[in-house]
Amino acid sequence: EKEVGCTFWTMKGNNLVLMLVTGLVFMSLLYNNDVQCKLAVTELLSENENENDDDTQTASAREEQRTARKSDKFDHEANSRKVARWRASLQQAIQSKDKENVSKLRRGFKSNIVIPCEYTFIDLGANVGDTLRKFIDSGFPEIDGKQWLFNHEKAEIGDICYGCTITGKPRPETWTLPKYMKENMKGKQPEDYCYYGVEGNPTFTSTLKDAELRVMNMDPRPVRHVHFFTQHIGTGKDGPSTLYLDKVNPADNFWGSSIYKSHWDVAKSGGDTGTPVTGITLTTLLRETVKPGGHVIVKIDIEGAEYPMMEEALQSNILCHLVKDKGVSISMVLEPHEDKVIGSDKPRLHWEEIKGEETIKNCG
């Protein structure tokens, strides 16, 4: 017996009795206008369905799911009022020929795809999204000494592992990103972090957006938030830019695409492979995605663009500012590319001239 504004009987674990009671309850609702009672009945019946589907689910887990459902409810009425106000304002601006306000109001629908977080992972050079997968992997427990993988394309845990070949024979011990994450996440887990990936190659836009949508719709979600800046590149200046595409390495997901036309994979591709993209600086990314007092992991693998991007970050003083003034801890994984790869020694020599690495380390 359960008091919910009306009293009725149910029996858990007995489908026949439950079916009979369900019919009686809904018949009684025809004569009961108490909305609270109806909602409670529906909720209790939903609980019974969940129990029959999965008897191993604990009461605390069910309570967490109910709480999450309540907190995630979309307020349709409030949303309708907001849209109506926006529409009326836009209509008024159009009628009064206020072009400036019309232009502003046309962008009136805000999107929460980028939110500042206390714990943030920034992935510059996201490629096909494999770093997101490896980041999520770092939160999985090992099974028989092996790290299990997350399939970011299907949004499910895979059946292969780091340290294993397809035949199951162990590989030589090597550095892996999940291992690095476990050692540098300050006692936190991937679900505490917001992940932001930056990738310029338009070939991967659809793949990355699909992965973002799948992960964001998982329950429970293995990371706090996910967003890919597609057709964006990390560089030294915000705004329109050009990415020269690698066309010769399909097996490696065209990993040689670069802002440098002289990059050896771009040169092998014919050189004339430029595509318009949007440049975004590390300063802008950090300002938009990081909260004071937290932890940021920055992974950079952008085929030579690391030099102008890091130089801009030094000039803006964003790294030292976050560490010394905002109490942010920063872990950085950067792959510096050799002169022969990018086809020039100027970026590296200039980086050494301004003592870039030394300056970063002095910030802490």
- In this predicted model, what pLDDT tens digit does every residue of 184-228 receive, in sequence order? 887 899 999 999 999 999 999 999 999 999 999 888 899 999 999
Same domain, yes or no, for 252 and 304? yes
* 232 SS3 class: strand
pLDDT of residue 172: 43
Same domain assignment for residues 199 and 50: no
Structural domain for 84, as ranges: 76-105
The answer on pLDDT for 280 being more than 50 is yes
In this prediction the pTM is 0.68
Give the integer Cα–Cα distance in Å for 127 and 201: 8
- Please report which confidence band the pLDDT of residue 143 belongs to, taking 50, 70 and 90 as the band edges: low
32 with 137, same domain: the answer is no
Q: How confident is the model at residue 60 (pLDDT cuts 50, 70, 90)?
A: low
Model confidence band, residue 175 (pLDDT cutoffs 50, 70, 90): low
Angle, helices 59-71/35-53, rounded to nearest 10 degrees? 130
**Planar angle of CA 282, 149, 175, nearest 5 degrees:** 60
Residue 110 resides in a domain: no
The closest alpha carbon to 304, from 268, 269, 265, belongs to 265
Range with lowest mean pLDDT among 57-61, 79-83, 147-151, 341-345: 57-61
Q: What is the pLDDT of residue 12?
A: 43
- Helix-then-strand count for the chain, H and E: 15, 13
Helices (H), 8-138: 15-29, 35-53, 59-71, 76-95, 99-105, 130-137
In 3-state terms, what secondary structure has residue 259?
coil
Assign 7 to helix, strand or coil: strand
154 and 275 in one domain? yes
**99 domain-assigned:** yes
Residue 316 has pLDDT above 80, yes or no: yes
pLDDT in tens, 13-47: 445 445 544 554 444 444 444 444 444 444 444 44
- DSSP β-ladder status, 146-151 and 142-143: antiparallel
Task: Label residue 174 exposed, middle or buried (CB < 10 Å: 0-12, 13-18, 19+).
Answer: exposed
Q: Please check whether residues 152 and 89 belong to one and the same domain.
A: no
Per-residue tokens: 244: 């020269």
Question: Does 112 fall in a domain?
Answer: no
pLDDT at 339 over 90: no
Distances (CA, A) of 35 to 3, 29, 126, 247: 14, 9, 50, 62
Same domain, 11 and 30: yes
DSSP states along 169-224: PBPPP---HHHHHHHHSTT--GGG-EEEEEE--GGGHHHHHHHHHHHHT-SS-SSS
> Is residue 287 one of the residues assigned to a domain?
yes
Tokens 């014919």 belong to residue: 270
Residue 113 lies in a domain: no
Q: What is the pLDDT of residue 331?
A: 92
Residue 275 forms beta bridges with which residues? 243
Q: What is the percent of the chain where pLDDT is above 90?
A: 35
Both 67 and 80 in a single domain? no
Instruction: Judge if 172 and 100 occupy the same domain.
Output: no
Does residue 203 sit within a domain? yes
Residues 148 and 290 in one domain: yes
Q: Which of 16, 46, 71 is the last residue of a domain?
A: 71
Q: Specify if 111 maps to a domain.
A: no
43 shares its domain with 134: no
Residue from 157, 158, 167, 161 nearest 142 by CA: 161
Question: Residue 133 falls within a domain, yes or no?
Answer: yes
Residues 66 and 87 in one domain: no
Tell me the average pLDDT of the chain: 77
The owner of tokens 């990371």 is 223
Please count the structural domains in the chain. 3
What per-residue confidence (pLDDT) applies to 292?
96
Q: 253 and 125 in one domain? A: yes
